[in-house]
Amino acid sequence: MLERLEGRCLLALFTVTNTGDQGAGSLRQAILDANAAAGDGAEIHFAIPPTDANHVDVDSALPGGDPDPDVFVIRPLSGLPALNNPSFGIVIDGRTQSAFGGETNPFGPEIVLNGASAGEGLDGLTLASSSHQVWALNIQQFGDSGVSVTGSNNSVVGCFIGTDPTGTVDRGNRGTGVDVFGGAGNAIGGAAPGSRNVISGNDSYGVRIIGAGASGNQVLGNFIGTDASGTADLGNTFDGVVVWGPASNTTIGGTMPGAGNVISGNDSYGVRIIGDGASGNQVLGNVIGTDASGTADLGNTLDGVVIWAPASNNTIGGTVPGARNIISGNDSYGVRIFGDGASNNQVLGNLIGTDAGGTADLGNKLDGVVIWAPASNNTIGGTAPGARNVISGNDSYGVRIFGAGASGNQVLGNYIGTDLTGNVDLGNASMGVLISGASDNTIGGTDAAARNVISGNSFGVYVSEAGATGNRVLGNFIGTNADGTVAIGNTFSGVVVGSSGNVVGGTAIGKGNVVSGNGRDGIEVSGDVNLVAGNYIGTDWTGTVPLGNADDGVEISGTGNVLGGAEFAARNVISGNLGDGVMLSRSANDNQILGNYIGTDVHGRIDLGNASNGITLVEAVDNVIGEVAAGAGNLISGNDRHGIEIAGTASTGNRVVGNRIGTDAAGTVALANASDGVSVFDSFGNVIGGTAPGAGNTISGNGRHGVSVISPPRPGDFVGVQGPFQIHRMAGTGGWVSNSPYDLESFTRFPGIFGTRAAFLGIHENGWQWIYRADPGKPVKQAFEPRIVPPDRRNFTQFGDQISLDSESLVFRGKDGTGATGVYAIDDGVFRVVADTNTQVPGSTGLFTAFGQPSIGESGSRTMISFFGRDAAGQPGIYSEQTDASAGQSAVSFYSSFATSTP
């Protein structure tokens, strides 16, 4: 019976016994012998006695043997032979010197390769074939790279490359610390204890991976650009790590404990991925720009990470535990993706601008993340668990997408301006997100996981410059915490759109943003043809609790924009803001405000009024508020001043159509605007209502007038209400909704209110109608009754329901005993006729034939009485009388009609 032979591994062992440059026992000779050896492998060990002439004290360069760190210095006088055994790998193991003579340098390697005398342009060690291992050497001051790797599956582990043996002093090689050229599957460092390299102080890159075939290499667990403690700057002159295409599928760091690198203090970029074919590379679990603890600034001079065109399909961070990078404290950008072809890269799960805990500001000096044109189709964050970046505390923008061609990029699921919890302000110094001149990018999404929290910054989202079109801002919380319940306001406005053709929110469920709690407006639109739809602006995420922006909910100064829409999901809830709900300011022309709830909760039932007007138009032209289509009318109720105010002589051509103003969404319950439903002041040519079916507005339940027109007349203009219209109309199938907070139904339906004074029509116990006046703290008294004979000797037989008053006067509609009807005033107790059916219509030879309810208002010294009237042809119009007390005029000073042709 034959016995099976045992397999044996025959290793050749070569020992370095002196620090000489050549000859027996030298490192040079050991390499030559290992290259020539046969068998299964070769190892080079060190056993240099302490009596060697180059056993030196690290501090003083005196002979070793004292308590200070002592090392053995090998000074080659020419280039060392490359490691190149075609049959197997060679192991050079500096750890064996400690095993031989004891630990003489507790701070680092005991074997030093000093290349200062080797010659210009020469590398320290060259790994020219495969499977070599270099352990625990200090490689310094060579004329080119410390270690050059041209083979595959090699390892460089536990070495100090570019420093002194303590890892605290710059002793850089003239070229790169470790240069991998064309080799695959090499490992620089490792995750296990003792595997860390310190690669610092070199005059070029720390680590460079370059060339065709350079694939699957790993850079793990190293300190690159710092001292051996990871706390002091000992930067390489160029990048910490560069991967240069077509090198691909490189892993820098890792997810296992100890696999991440500290890449800080370098004089250029921390990590750079550049060039055609540089794809599939991963940067995982590293600290880039801080000390090893992630708590102190140790920034790289330029960006923390840059992906340079046409590098594509690379990943910075990841979604699994341990993949997060800390990219903070860098002197330029945290992450930059740059140029044509830099596409389909992902930045996932990182802390960018904060400390390692995600709770303290450790900002990059410029943007947290910048995507620079024409880089396209990159993703910052994501919807998968763990994909969220925290991009906060940076000294400029959180995220910036810049320039023509920077398109198709997505910013998803990040916290931008808060801490790791999303509940504490850790704002970027400028905008949370800036899109400048770039098109078709997406900030957020319809999935809750795609929601960004963009809070605590100067502005939240800012879209500007020509070419910034087709961008979408969807589903984000802007100005609140991560729960959407507490304000973490951006200092200025939540969203600013200064360019054209963009969308904030949308017409599908989930697209709307919560834009609340910000220090100025919720949303500013100065560009043209943008859509703002489906958002909660000034409330919490439920739409039921006020969380107002400090100024207006929405301010529009552009042209052709749409706020809301007829679809249910397009409705904005614009409530709880400390200014106007919506402001259309100068140059706001041809905009549409459709289908919104302005001043109420999301259900249209509860008062969450804006602190000023629901909608204000100042010097705005040809805008539309509401429409006749189903769902296009706005609900404008509960606001603390007017529902709508149209002001300024340039405000013309505006239409208010099909809205409910002062009621709940059903139109059955008063939800008063505190003052007028609609106030028109110093404006001309505007239309409230219309002749088309559904054009009429429901204007009821407001605290003062339904419609107040206080505008100096200008012949030929139409101001106010056109077509069949009732200021007080039946609200649905319910009862009348009084245009007052006072319930005087048993006396008159529509009392007049001015401040704390009231006037109303009542019925005396003898059956006569009287006009009563109620002043605070005084009994109700008669202001006027039909049996009182005025100076013109007329008796009144009937009064209109509506009484209107100001500080000194009241006006009413009445009918006298002759059958004449008109509008009459009592000025400080003195009766006079404003107009009746004996009065000639201004600009006409005919007389008035009918009158609607009048209103009175004051502006400075002027008093304006406006009323609805018909001329002899039955043509309706708004007419007004103006009295100017400052000019000493107590009678009519100007009196004219407004044309009522359809605009």
CA–CA separation, 796 and 781 (whole Å): 19
Residue with tokens 């625990």: 136
> Do 712 and 767 fall within a single domain?
no
Domain boundary among 741, 772, 796: 741
> Do 144 and 27 fall within a single domain?
yes
CA–CA separation, 516 and 3 (whole Å): 84
The token duo for 467 is 């070419």
> Do 734 and 814 fall within a single domain?
no
> Do 673 and 783 fall within a single domain?
no
Strand residue runs (E) in 296-372:
305-308, 315-317, 326-327, 335-338, 346-348, 351-352, 369-372
CA–CA separation, 272 and 127 (whole Å): 24
Residue 34 has what pLDDT? 98
Helices (H), 74-190: 95-101
| Residue ranges for the chain with pLDDT beneath 70 | 1-10, 60-62, 65-67, 711-802, 804-808, 817, 828-829, 843, 858-863, 882-903
245-281 per-position pLDDT tens digit: 999 999 999 999 999 999 999 999 999 999 999 999 9
- CB of 122 closer than 8 Å to CB of 144: yes
Domain boundary among 711, 741, 771: 741
- CB of 516 closer than 8 Å to CB of 480: yes
* Maximum alpha-carbon separation in the chain: 148
Residue 850 has what pLDDT? 84
CA–CA separation, 30 and 47 (whole Å): 12
> Do 28 and 131 fall within a single domain?
yes
Structural domains in the chain (count): 3
Q: What is the domain extent for residue 856?
A: 761-895
Q: Please report whether residue 391 resides in a domain.
A: no
CA–CA separation, 517 and 460 (whole Å): 11
Interior angle at CA 72, CA 67 and CA 78, nearest 5: 155
Question: Which one-letter amino acid corresponds to residue 159?
Answer: C
585-632 per-position pLDDT tens digit: 989 999 999 999 999 999 999 999 999 999 999 999 999 999 999 999
CA–CA separation, 792 and 728 (whole Å): 32
Indicate the burial class of 829 (C-beta count within 10 angstroms; 0-12, 13-18, 19 or more): exposed
Q: CB 464: neighbour CB atoms within 10 A?
A: 16
What are the angstrom distances between the C-alpha of 76 and each of 123, 178, 514? 11, 19, 68
Q: CB 716: neighbour CB atoms within 10 A?
A: 13
- CB of 768 closer than 8 Å to CB of 787: yes
- CB of 171 closer than 8 Å to CB of 141: yes
Rounding to the nearest 10 degrees, give the CA dihedral for residues 269, 394, 500, 583. -170
CA–CA separation, 22 and 25 (whole Å): 8
First to last CA, the chain: 115
For β-strands 769-774 and 781-784, DSSP reports them as antiparallel
Residue 870 has what pLDDT? 82
Q: Containing H/E element for 625? A: strand 624-625
Q: Please report whether residue 128 resides in a domain.
A: yes
Residue 722 has what pLDDT? 34
Q: Please report whether residue 883 resides in a domain.
A: yes
3-state class of 885 per DSSP? helix
> Do 606 and 636 fall within a single domain?
yes
CA–CA separation, 323 and 321 (whole Å): 6
Q: Please report whether residue 262 resides in a domain.
A: no
> Do 676 and 736 fall within a single domain?
yes
CA–CA separation, 580 and 574 (whole Å): 9
How many whole angstroms from its chain centre is CA 487? 14
- CB of 665 closer than 8 Å to CB of 600: yes
- CB of 846 closer than 8 Å to CB of 871: yes
Residue 833 has what pLDDT? 82
> Do 717 and 770 fall within a single domain?
no
CA–CA separation, 13 and 90 (whole Å): 10
Q: Please report whether residue 852 resides in a domain.
A: yes
Candidates 719, 713, 739; CA nearest to 727 is: 739
Domain boundary among 679, 707, 741: 741
3-state class of 556 per DSSP? strand
- CB of 664 closer than 8 Å to CB of 605: yes
Q: Please report whether residue 51 resides in a domain.
A: yes
Residue with tokens 């002196």: 18
> Do 731 and 776 fall within a single domain?
no
DSSP 513-529: -EE-S-SS-SEEE-SSS
Residue 684 has what pLDDT? 87
Q: Containing H/E element for 876? A: strand 876-884
Q: Please report whether residue 611 resides in a domain.
A: yes
27 HSE (CA, 13 A, CB side): 30
> Do 803 and 728 fall within a single domain?
no
In sequence order, what are the beta bridge partners of 474? 444
> Do 852 and 723 fall within a single domain?
no
How many whole angstroms from its chain centre is CA 299? 25
Residue 796 has what pLDDT? 63
DSSP 364-396: -SS-SEEEETT-BS-EEE-SSTT---EE-S-SS
> Do 544 and 619 fall within a single domain?
yes
Q: Please report whether residue 75 resides in a domain.
A: yes
DSSP one-letter code for 449: G
